[in-house]
Amino acid sequence: MKDPLRIAIIGQSNFAADVLELLLERQYNIVGVFTIPNKGSREDILATTAARYNIPVFKFATWRRKGVAIPEVLEQYKSVQANLNVLPYCSQFIPMEVIDGAALGSICYHPSILPRHRGASAISWTLIEGDEVAGFSIFWADDGLDTGPILLQKQVNVEAYDTLDTLYKRFLYPEGIKSMAEAVDLVAKEKAPRITQTEVGATYDPAMFKEENQRVDLNQTAKRIWNFIRGLDSVPGALATVLHEDGSEEHIRLFGAHLYSDVRVQEDKTLRLKGLKNLAYIHERGLLMEGTDGALVNVKRIKKGSKMINACDWFNLSQAPQITDFTEDELAKKEVLRNIWLSILKCPIESETDFFAAGAGSMDVVRLVEECKDAFDVPLENEHVFMAPVFEEFFGEVVKSLRQGSSGSSAKVHFDGLVLKANKKEISIPTQLFINGEFVEAENRRTLDIINPTNEEVLCKVACASRNDVDKAAAAAHKAFYGPWRQVSARQRGQLMMKLADLMEQHKEELATIESVDSGAVYTLALKTHIGMSIDAWRYFAGWCDKIQGNTIPVNPARPNNVLTFTKKEPLGVVGLITPWNYPLMMLSWKMAACIAAGNTCLIKPAQTCPLTALKFAELTVKAGFPAGVINIVTGKGSEAGQAILEQPLIRKLGFTGSTEVGKSVMRCCAESNLKKCSLELGGKSPLVIFADCDFEKAVKHGMSSVFFNKGENCIAAGRIFVEDSIHDEFVRRVVKDIRSMAIGDPLNRSTAHGPQNHRAHFEKLIEFCELGVKEGATLVYGGHAVPNTKGYFFLPTVFTNVEDHMYIAQEESFGPIMVISKFHGSDVESVMRRANRSEYGLASGVFTGDISKALSFADTIEAGTVFVNVYNKTDVAAPFGGFKQSGFGKDLGQEALNEYLKTKCVTIEY
């Protein structure tokens, strides 16, 4: 080319700005940019970009008046002396004096494969007409309607998932920018073709900015309804009309449509839409409509006025709680958000300012979301802007996200319950079921009596869940797993768990008080272990949330291709948890913290006799900001609610702690229901071997603790103590002496060391256990009966000696404060180890010795999931916990616990 190009860019938007920058990168001379005037103080990005490169910018509201080019506008255009006009995206009518004013002509981008879909709404009509191929044309502008000669065209297949936005983002925008530069290159090289458009297949389609063209015809096939909705999916949305029962009409807009082939759910929630033959259905996945061919279309989002809602929430909209109790920190963030909106919209931001009505476009949505992420560290998506385009509504969405993360929540939780006056406190405790984020009554308002084990009086009544209640909780957990919980990132999940742990820390004295009154736990122990270790569990597993990862695996490739194989760790889905009564909150936390960290949702049935800390915990989950349905708590009977959990088909995993007998039934039910994965922490009869070469004082102290810790209601309690004969008598004497000085009484008293057993049935079984031990010939040295003249389930710490291996009390778990002692000769180490293993249980074990070889030999030989050496009951949330043999399988705590709540997916890619 003899004369270098002098390019004028005429247009607007990010598309035009990106074309400008690409042409500058290729060293083209841009002599002027012509764009639209500012909207208020908001300048089009093309003008802003041009100014950054010191390119002259001209802003015209119109180029013509009464069909004639405005002289002064024409004069300003001529002043830049352009010899090529480039129109990347232009919404204005440019007069022919300008189009032909450049010596080399004008090239224009059009988002269709011309001559099909001429007109301003070409992309929309590509989808509305169900074209299999979409694309764009760069043509030489003329005085017709997109009828000039073609310079170049590119195309792409239209996929079933495509909407106007996806087509634009994946092809029309990025490829269009590169092709505009390619077209200029062809002009510069004098190789640009001019291919006359054929009239074969030409279409002239109406502009979709006219409202009469936006109404969807519902009297046609499902596919045509779907194509129309997705053709208007970004702006303005397909227009439909709801016919209300009172005769009134309401205009709505439909977004997010897809052809629906799942099971059709008939529900009572119906809508009548104008032009639709049959009723539309509101269901959990959206709005379902039937086309004239009997096929179904589902719509995910509906716009009512200026507010976008999930279609499934149509009937819940009026019930949705509005946040009004903003904290000072949140109000400060509101001003930060206002400044973000101001920087984008360039206009005053009031509570009712509508983001889109103020002139924002799709790229502004992206900018708003990204700036909010940077400013507040919240997991917002573009959809949040469309769902809440008004400033006050969007601020509410930001606060919701903040409360689900680092900022926490001061939300008030409504429930019916008990006001417990104890330990110089007044503590409000829910007594209802906790389902889908709310406290609700059980079916038929059924209740259970909760007995205070200290005085045998009825403490309160709690809801008693039915099978239907369990089904509702499972459905809520299932919906949350596939809904809002998936929107929470792994790191955000960890923040939620940390916030919950912080709230538990703030309320630890209340929780410990409830645990003492409800389960009989000694308050000081409850504070340190029951509650303290619960908090530790949530904090520990919170740290794992964003560290759950798979592996890449070097597999043998199929030559000549390469193969990449990797694994992904994914949550299982809905998890059912059934926990025992000895550590109510701690057992809940051990299991649930790992379950939630792995990304599952859950429902838990706490022990029938002491569910109150679980219900108080539920209140804290709301305050921490957990989405509704992620955690559900159903109180009730094991034979009803527990059995319903085992059989519930939506539950994919069962975590159970309890007796071996019940555990066998649990495992059968898991297999027979839907083959759900299960982990079982069952009974124990843990051996503790004490050699004469031990630290005797330490052995006595830990030997006492191994049996009497938490009133003996301890799954890893030493159920059989083997003491070397040379120290046997002195060991027994010291144990009895220490028992006599043990303070037994009110668990809330700070000096109390031994509180009441959890409930009457267990209390009576301990008496029977001791009676059987005496009957079999063991020596009852101390205890064996209730504390005399005391109300409540107080059982004396008990010591048996001369216990032989065949006796019932040597074989079966008492789960109470009963020490069972056998002696052995120091020369027969191998025999005592065999005796220690002569049990179907294998939960824990212990050895006290000063000889490291004995200790390591014991650790190698013993068949138990936990081995304590010169210590006992030393558990930590980072250490895996679980048994062998009939003590169950699977682990609580530690990294291994995560695997109980994850599945491994293997992905193989050939390339």
Read off the pLDDT of each residue in 93-122 and give the average, rounded to a whole number. 94
The span from the first CA to the last CA of the chain, in angstroms, equals 44
Specify the DSSP element, H or E, that contains 139.
strand 133-140
Asked if 715 is an active-site residue, the reply is: yes
d(CA 93, CA 353): 30
DSSP state of 82: -
SS3 506: helix
User: Over 50: is that where the pLDDT of 82 sits?
Assistant: yes
- pLDDT given for residue 406 in this prediction: 42
Closest CA to 798 of 809, 786, 782: 782
Read off the pLDDT of each residue in 690-704 and give the average, rounded to a whole number. 97
User: Over 70: is that where the pLDDT of 855 sits?
Assistant: yes
- pLDDT given for residue 444 in this prediction: 96
Read off the pLDDT of each residue in 274-294 and give the average, rounded to a whole number. 92
d(CA 162, CA 153): 20
The tens digit of pLDDT for each residue in 597-629 reads 999 999 999 999 999 999 999 999 999 989 999
Token match 């169950």: residue?
888
User: Over 80: is that where the pLDDT of 362 sits?
Assistant: no
The tens digit of pLDDT for each residue in 463-509 reads 999 999 999 999 999 999 998 898 888 999 999 999 999 999 999 99
Closest CA to 499 of 623, 383, 379: 623
Read off the pLDDT of each residue in 754-771 and give the average, rounded to a whole number. 97
Percent of the chain with pLDDT over 90: 81
Specify the DSSP element, H or E, that contains 203.
none
Edge-to-edge strand order for the sheet containing 779-782?
779-782, 798-801, 818-824, 718-724, 686-690, 844-848, 866-869
SS3 424: coil
Asked if 806 is an active-site residue, the reply is: no
Q: 413: which 2 tokens?
A: 């939780």
d(CA 253, CA 664): 55
Between 353 and 7, the higher pLDDT residue? 7
Neighbours of 487 (CB within 10 A): 15
Read off the pLDDT of each residue in 235-240 and give the average, rounded to a whole number. 90
Read off the pLDDT of each residue in 448-461 and give the average, rounded to a whole number. 97
- pLDDT given for residue 321 in this prediction: 54
pTM for the model stands at: 0.75
Kindly tell me the burial class for residue 91, based on how many C-beta atoms sit within 10 Å of its own C-beta (0-12, 13-18, 19 or more): exposed
Q: Which of 162-171, 316-325, 666-675, 697-706 has the lowest mean pLDDT?
A: 316-325
Buried-state track 212-227, b at ≥16 Cβ within 10 A, e below 16? eebebebeeebebbbb
Closest CA to 902 of 544, 477, 658, 470: 544
d(CA 127, CA 125): 5
d(CA 57, CA 9): 10
Asked if 681 is an active-site residue, the reply is: yes
d(CA 88, CA 182): 12
Q: Which of 347-351, 438-442, 851-855 has the lowest mean pLDDT?
A: 347-351
Q: Residues 478, 574: contact at Cβ < 8 Å?
A: yes
Q: 173: which 2 tokens?
A: 């925008």
Buried-state track 614-648, b at ≥16 Cβ within 10 A, e below 16? bbbbbbbbbbbbbbbbbbbbbbbebebbbbbbbbb
DSSP state of 784: -
DSSP string, 167-182: HIIIIITHHHHHHHHH
Q: Which of 154-163, 260-269, 431-440 has the lowest mean pLDDT?
A: 260-269
Q: 785: which 2 tokens?
A: 């009966």
**CA distances from residue 124 to 117, 308, 447 in whole angstroms, order as listed:** 9, 21, 58
Closest CA to 356 of 342, 348, 369, 345: 345
d(CA 465, CA 441): 9
d(CA 373, CA 883): 45
- Residue partners of 704: CB distance under 8 A and separation at least 6: 735, 738, 739
User: Could you say which of 108, 110, 258, 372 is catalytic?
Assistant: 110
Peptide bond connecting 611 to the previous residue in cis, omega within 30 degrees of 0: no
- pLDDT given for residue 457 in this prediction: 96
The tens digit of pLDDT for each residue in 512-545 reads 999 999 999 999 999 999 999 999 999 999 999 9
Read off the pLDDT of each residue in 629-641 and give the average, rounded to a whole number. 97
Strand partners, 884: 842
Neighbours of 274 (CB within 10 A): 12
Percent of the chain with pLDDT over 70: 97
Phi and psi of 307, rounded to 5°? -105, 130
Q: 566: which 2 tokens?
A: 């990797």
d(CA 33, CA 135): 26
Q: Residues 454, 746: contact at Cβ < 8 Å?
A: yes
Three-class HEC string of 342-374: HHHHCCCCCCCCECCCCCCCHHHHHHHHHHHHH
DSSP state of 717: -
Read off the pLDDT of each residue in 357-384 and give the average, rounded to a whole number. 81
Q: 297: which 2 tokens?
A: 């279309």
Size of the chain in residues: 911
SS3 393: helix
User: Over 90: is that where the pLDDT of 382 sits?
Assistant: no
User: Over 70: is that where the pLDDT of 2 sits?
Assistant: no
Read off the pLDDT of each residue in 295-305 and give the average, rounded to a whole number. 91
User: Could you say which of 330, 619, 681, 813 is catalytic?
Assistant: 681
Q: 91: which 2 tokens?
A: 């919404």
d(CA 488, CA 571): 13
- Residue partners of 335: CB distance under 8 A and separation at least 6: none
- pLDDT given for residue 896 in this prediction: 96
Phi and psi of 59, rounded to 5°? -120, 115
CA dihedral 44, 46, 50, 55 (to 10 degrees): -90
- Cα 751 to chain centroid distance, Å, stands at 44
- Residue partners of 743: CB distance under 8 A and separation at least 6: 749, 751, 752, 753, 754
User: Over 50: is that where the pLDDT of 407 sits?
Assistant: no
The mean of the pLDDT values for the chain is 93
**CA distances from residue 829 to 394, 549, 833 in whole angstroms, order as listed:** 72, 45, 6
Q: Residues 345, 360: contact at Cβ < 8 Å?
A: yes
- pLDDT given for residue 409 in this prediction: 47
Token match 């297999």: residue?
671
User: Over 80: is that where the pLDDT of 721 sits?
Assistant: yes
Q: With bands split at pLDDT 50, 70 and 90, how would you rate the model's confidence at 408?
A: very low
Neighbours of 672 (CB within 10 A): 11
User: Over 90: is that where the pLDDT of 388 sits?
Assistant: no
Read off the pLDDT of each residue in 179-205 and give the average, rounded to a whole number. 95
SS3 591: helix
Pairing status of strand 552-553 against strand 844-848: unpaired
User: Could you say which of 602, 610, 694, 715 is catalytic?
Assistant: 715
- pLDDT given for residue 399 in this prediction: 87
Read off the pLDDT of each residue in 847-858 and give the average, rounded to a whole number. 96
Closest CA to 632 of 780, 811, 432: 432
Pairing status of strand 64-65 against strand 68-69: antiparallel
The tens digit of pLDDT for each residue in 542-574 reads 999 999 999 999 998 777 888 999 999 999 999
Token match 């010191």: residue?
54
Q: With bands split at pLDDT 50, 70 and 90, how would you rate the model's confidence at 319?
A: very low
Strand partners, 420: 427
Count the helix, strand and coil residues of the chain and give each as a percent rounded to the nearest 5. Answer: 40, 25, 40
d(CA 724, CA 279): 82
DSSP string, 885-898: ETTEES-BSHHHHH
